[in-house]
């Protein structure tokens, strides 16, 4: 009995020592219902925390102790809100919260100024905070499969944004500020209620190579008549020509971009 207990203690001690030395805590599919205290006690040692596919209901306030954490992955849990002290995680670059039950994001999200990737698809978001515009280093934003009716005007201040995914929502129109996203390469808004997009979008977003608006009210005629359409088409074609020349495999929908006829 004592031997087994000793082995269990050693195993736990070894695991904690490994987490501390590597900075990587991976506890996927561990049937966790709460954050393990031993993880929170690691404080500054944690660089990556992956608790995907557990049964976590909330993120504790003590997560703010993990001040050096760069990657937070909490996909496929039961989380319904984020702590208001989230902004203290100033080193955070990647946050993945797909497949939870989150209904809103705190204004403090805007304090995560080093954030480069935010993926929060498959939740229950009704809106995004205006403070999202403070995320000047954000290159990827995925808010697909939520209940969004609009994107905030401030999203146009995410100047580093290259990919915006907002499929499967209830969005009716895009803010004019989207035209400020000069690095935007991919814009996906499939299965929304978009009837028009900002008239200068194709002209001003000169890096845009992919726009997907399938299952929306907007018509192909509207799209083709937009200023900058021919330049956009040239960029799109050039991109796929490069892929084909490089023998990159393209799926059946690889060349099927734009809007429904």
Residue 237: pLDDT band (50, 70, 90) is confident
Q: Please name the residue that has the structure tokens 């690095």.
A: 183
Task: Tell me which of 181 and 234 has the higher pLDDT.
Answer: 181
pLDDT in tens, 16-61: 999 999 999 999 999 999 999 999 999 999 999 999 999 999 999 9
Which region holds residue 23: left if phi is over 0, alpha if psi is between -120 and 50, else beta?
left
pLDDT at 2 > cutoff 80: no
What 3-state class would DSSP assign to 113? Answer: coil
Which pLDDT score is estimated for 6? Answer: 46
pLDDT at 1 over 60: no
Do 137 and 111 contact (CB within 8 A), yes or no?
no
Would you say residue 5 has pLDDT above 60? Answer: no
Whole-number pLDDT of residue 238 = 79
pLDDT score of 257:
53
Looking at residue 249, its pLDDT comes to 47
Run of H or E residues at 10: helix 2-22
Q: What is the average per-residue pLDDT within 66-76?
A: 98
Which residue, 252, 178, 172, is CA-closest to 211?
Answer: 178
Percentage of the chain beyond pLDDT 90 is: 80
Model-level pTM?
A: 0.90
List pLDDT tens digits, range 179-232. Answer: 999 999 999 999 999 999 999 999 999 999 999 999 999 988 888 899 999 989
Tokens of 167: 């499929």
- Mean pLDDT, residues 75-84 taken together: 96
Task: Please state whether beta strands 163-165 and 186-188 pair in parallel, antiparallel, or not at all (unpaired).
Answer: parallel
Q: Which two tokens stand for residue 23?
A: 């900075």
Phi, psi of 248 (to 5 degrees): -80, 130
Residue 73, pLDDT > 70, answer yes
Please state the rounded mean pLDDT for residues 108-121.
98
């Amino acid at each position: 009995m004592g031997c087994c207990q000793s082995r269990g203690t050693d195993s736990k001690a070894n695991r904690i020592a490994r987490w501390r030395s590597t900075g990587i805590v991976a506890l996927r599919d561990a049937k966790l219902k709460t954050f393990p205290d031993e993880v929170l006690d690691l404080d500054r040692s944690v660089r990556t925390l992956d608790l995907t596919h557990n049964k976590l209901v909330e993120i504790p306030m003590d997560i703010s102790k993990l001040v050096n954490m760069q990657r937070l992955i909490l996909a496929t849990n039961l989380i319904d809100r984020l702590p208001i002290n989230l902004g203290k995680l100033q080193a955070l670059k990647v946050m993945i919260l797909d497949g939870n039950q989150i209904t809103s994001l705190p204004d403090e999200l805007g304090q995560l100024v080093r954030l480069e990737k935010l993926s929060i698809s498959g939740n229950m978001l009704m809106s995004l905070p205006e403070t999202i515009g403070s995320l000047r280093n954000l290159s990827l934003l995925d808010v697909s499969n939520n209940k969004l009716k609009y994107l905030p005007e401030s999203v146009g201040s995410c100047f580093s944004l290259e990919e915006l995914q907002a499929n499967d929502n209830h969005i009716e129109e895009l803010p004019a500020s989207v035209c400020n996203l000069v690095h935007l390469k991919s814009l996906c808004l499939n299965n929304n209620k978009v009837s028009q997009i900002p008239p200068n979008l194709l002209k001003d977003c000169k890096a845009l190579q992919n726009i997907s608006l399938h299952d929306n009210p907007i018509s192909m005629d509207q799209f083709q008549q937009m200023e900058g359409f021919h330049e956009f088409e040239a960029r799109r074609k050039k991109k796929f020509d490069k892929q084909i020349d490089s023998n990159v495999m393209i799926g059946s929908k690889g060349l099927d971009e734009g809007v429904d006829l």
